[in-house]
Amino acid sequence: MASDMQTDISGANAPHPSGDIGDVVLRTEGLTKHYGGVHALQDASFEIRKGEHVAIMGDNGAGKSTFVRQITAVEQRTGGKVWFDGRYVEFDGPLEAREAGIETVFQNLALADHLDVPDNLFLGREKVLFKLGPFSILDYKGMREATLAGLEKTGVKIPNIRNTIQHMSGGQRQCVAIARTATFHSKLTIMDEPTAALGVQETAQVENIIRTLKEQGEPLILISHNMRQVMDLCDRIVVFRRGRVCANLRKEETDGQDVVSYITGAKTQDQYADAA
């Protein structure tokens, strides 16, 4: 399980320019991942605060998804520290990260095609009425009610929640994966390219869900290549390049052209210049 050690996070160098340290939901310091001789992620320090939506941008191979895999313990980090919800954590795997309150919508969605919406939302954490030896009687009614509540909270429209995932559109599948985060009252939602394979209408639906999460004060990390989307939906932009953070930008103090300059390496903020 995640470490129970309560850790004061105020002493480390904060990458966020201002604010009460008690508002920090997630913080990393010097997060590093090596695959043999390949340094996929190097000394990444990051934080996100309550109610904040932060975009992570960068070219393919810049370290964005690797960073998320270390936070969610899909992989074990080579070095660095992670604090979540005020505690220093070393999750053994993604299930522990999820139990702690980190819900992630990966690019592959991690949905079971042959199951319906409630079964997907509760996959691995089913509601149980009672157990008979090695067998469990599931609370299907409770799972359906919780599913409908989660869909309503995010504004997701699914005509029939008993339909299996394989019979849904790409946008509906994406919305089901997002609704899973609302159903379990996540403390932090991470979305990895949530609209990359969607059409215009489906993209608009997902973006409306993200706006709803913002209105509800739920923090979000959004990995996206879509500059328009990032500028519309996020408060801050953190740029990765060659496995390192090279910029931490407030949306109101930058523009798309400026962000592209950091992505391509034409610019690097002073605090990251030595590592560039």
Predicted confidence pLDDT, tens digits, the chain (276 residues): 444 433 444 334 434 444 455 699 999 999 999 999 899 999 999 999 999 999 999 999 999 999 999 999 999 999 999 999 999 999 999 889 988 999 888 877 778 999 999 999 898 888 999 888 888 889 999 999 988 988 887 777 888 999 999 999 888 888 888 878 767 768 999 999 888 878 888 888 889 889 988 998 999 999 999 999 999 999 999 999 999 999 999 999 999 999 999 999 999 888 787 665
Q: Structure tokens of 95?
A: 């299930």
C-alpha torsion sign, points 116, 155, 219, 249 = positive
Per-residue pLDDT at 170: 82
Mutual angle of helices 140-154 and 170-183, in 10-degree steps? 100
Q: Biggest alpha carbon distance in the chain?
A: 64
Secondary structure (3-state) at 116: strand
Per-residue pLDDT at 8: 41
CA-closest candidate to residue 12, choices 54, 43, 33? 43
Q: Structure tokens of 79?
A: 């070095």
**Gap between the Cα atoms of 34 and 153, Å rounded:** 39
Per-residue H/E/C for 43-58: EEEEEEECCCEEEEEC
CATH H-level, domain 1-93+234-276: superfamily:
P-loop containing nucleotide triphosphate hydrolases (3.40.50.300)
Per-residue pLDDT at 16: 42
* Edge-to-edge strand ranges of the sheet holding 236-241: 102-105, 188-192, 220-223, 53-57, 236-241, 244-250
pTM: 0.83
Residue ranges in the chain assigned as alpha helix (H): 64-71, 94-100, 117-121, 140-154, 170-183, 200-215, 227-233, 256-264
Per-residue pLDDT at 1: 44
Per the CB < 8 A criterion, the answer to whether 208 and 171 are in contact is no
CA-closest candidate to residue 271, choices 15, 10, 12? 15
Secondary structure (3-state) at 249: strand
Domain residue ranges in the chain? 1-93+234-276
Per-residue pLDDT at 22: 66
Q: What is the DSSP letter of 20?
A: -
Per-residue pLDDT at 244: 95
**Virtual CA dihedral for 163, 166, 168, 170, nearest 10 degrees?**
150
**Gap between the Cα atoms of 199 and 186, Å rounded:** 27
